[in-house]
Amino acid sequence: MAHSLTPQLGRHDHAHHGHAAGEACAHARDHARRAPDALLEAERLCAERGVRLTPIRRAVLEALYATHKPVGAYDLIEMLGQQGRRRMAPITVYRALDFLLAEGFAHKLASRNAFLACPHFHAPDEMVVFLICDQCGGVDEVANPDLARSLNRLIGHEGFAVDTRVLELSGRCAHCRRPARAAAAESLPA
């Protein structure tokens, strides 16, 4: 029996940050909006590449799309179990994640030891920058060719060989900063 993990914006816990429960962070809206097309594109790319998006791999990818936050492997196991799936062994989830990483359908955030779905399908050598919000936990993903060229020049001068082209930056997203900016503006004398 197939189980679908559809992104549900209403399940996001807003108690810890400054916007209402009905007002989702941009991370969640963007992730949910891209999920259906990204899953179809992943299937198309697998067929084109001659690899299989097995039911387990697809279930793990769907689970990653069901949240806009980075998720650890054991949290994925729990998420899949809550959807009525038989509990998967950690090695099964890690193998599925390895496949998704190798095919460019997911990314691993080293600083969080967690994974997130990637609807952008980057080239293997493309520089990816993750903007990680410390307040809401959301992640925005950007790729900038100018930054990549600058870093490649810098790295080339040092003679360093890059294995992974991922940069993680932590801070607060524009959405989470908005209430603080609005409150600060209101407190200024007229």
pLDDT in tens, 75-122: 999 999 887 778 889 999 999 999 999 998 999 999 999 999 988 877
pLDDT one-digit tens code per residue, 116-158: 998 887 766 678 899 999 998 889 888 888 888 888 888 888 8
Q: Where are the domains of the chain?
A: 9-187
The tokens for 7 are 């992104």
| One CATH from 1.10.10.10, 3.40.50.1370, 1.20.81.30, 3.90.740.10 for 9-187 | 1.10.10.10
Provide the residue type at 139 as one letter.
V
Residue from 64, 58, 127 nearest 96 by CA: 58
CA distance 99 to 101: 5
How distant, in Å, are the alpha carbons of 14, 22, 34 from that of 119? 24, 24, 7
Per-residue model confidence (pLDDT) at position 4: 37
Mean pLDDT in residue range 155-172: 86
pTM: 0.73
Q: Calculate ∠ Cα 29-30-31, nearest 5°.
A: 95
